[in-house]
């Protein structure tokens, strides 16, 4: 029964994302965030406008 606890811990460590792996990997995402904007999958909120793209064109860059 003790092996199950160890196996569970190992599985959790294997599927854990590496620190910083979800950070800025695309140039357009870095540019969007450096201007103080944010990326969004759907339409931008009502008070924001789409000013470009993020994640290689998959997301929209929303700015005030």
Q: Is the pTM above the cut of 0.85? A: no
* Residue range 23-63 in CATH 3.40.50: no
- The CA-CA-CA angle for residues 35, 41, 47, to 5°, reads 60
- Taking the CA atoms of residue 34, residue 36, residue 37 and residue 38 in that order, the dihedral angle to the nearest 10 degrees is 80
Mean predicted confidence (pLDDT) in 23-44: 86
What are the residue boundaries of the structural domains of the chain, listed by start?
Answer: 23-63
d(CA 12, CA 3): 14
The beta strand positions in 2-57, using DSSP E, are 38-40, 49-54
pLDDT of residue 55: 87
Task: Encode pLDDT of 34-63 as tens digits.
Answer: 999 999 998 999 999 999 999 888 899 999
């Amino acid at each position: 029964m003790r092996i199950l606890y160890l196996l569970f811990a190992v599985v959790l460590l294997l599927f854990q994302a590496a620190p910083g792996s979800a950070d800025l990997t695309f140039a357009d995402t870095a540019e969007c965030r450096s201007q103080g904007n944010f990326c969004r999958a759907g339409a931008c909120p009502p008070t924001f406008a789409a000013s470009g793209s993020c994640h290689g064109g998959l997301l929209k860059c929303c700015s005030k």
